[in-house]
Amino acid sequence: MSELFTRNRLVGLALAALVAIVDQAVKWYVVGPLNLRQVLKIDLLPFFDLTYTENKGISLGMFQATDMETRWILVAVTALIAAVVLVWMMRERLMGEILGLALILGGALGNIRDRFELGYVIDYADFHIGDFRPFLIFNIADAAITIGVVIILARSLLVRDKDDSNTETGTGDAPRGETHNA
C-alpha cells in the first residue's frame, strides 16, 4: 500500500515540475520570440488576446511590491506558502488531493521564479467578452493555482472518502477502537 502512496506523491512532484516548466517556457516564448514586451498586445481570437503585463503584486494586484524590501517579502511569503503546500502534498495519500496540491505548487514555483528573477510576475493571457473581462490578465501558473484550489475545495465539499481507520481493524464498519464480537 505504501508503494501506491509513494507513486502518487511522485506523480504529484512530476506534475508540479511540469506546470512550473511549461509556465516558464510560455513566458519565455511570449517575451522572447513573440516580443510581447515591446508590442504589448497580440489579438488572437475575438475573446482572447495576449497582453503583456508586469504584476508587481499578488492575487488581484494586492500588496504591490514597489520597493526591494516588499519584493523580497513577497518572495519569502510565497516561498513559505509553497513549502507548506509541498509538505501538505507529501502527507496526502489520495491522488485527487495530490493533483490539486501539485497544480498549486507548480504554479507557485513558476510565479516565485519570476518574482525572484525579475521583481514581478509576467502575465499575458487576456480573456474577454467585448470590453468585459471576467478575469484579470493571467498566466499558466495563475490558472494552475486556481484549478488546484478548485479541486481541493470541490473534493473537500463533495467527495466523501472512506475513513482509513475503519479498515485498519479489518472490520470495515466498526469505529476505531471497537471490535465486532462474533
**Distance, C-alpha 78 to centroid of its chain:** 12
Q: How far apart are CA 145 and CA 103, in angstroms?
A: 6
Cell of 138: 493571467
Q: Which of 23, 114, 123, 126 is catalytic?
A: 123
CA-closest candidate to residue 136, choices 62, 78, 85, 65:
62
Q: How far apart are CA 106 and CA 21, in angstroms?
A: 8
Q: Which of 23, 114, 126, 142 is catalytic?
A: 142
Q: How far apart are CA 27 and CA 20, in angstroms?
A: 11
Q: How far apart are CA 85 and CA 19, in angstroms?
A: 15
One-letter amino acid for residue 74 of the chain: L
3-class DSSP assignment, residue 42? strand
142 is catalytic: yes
Cell of 33: 520570440
114 is catalytic: no
Please list the active-site residues: 123, 142
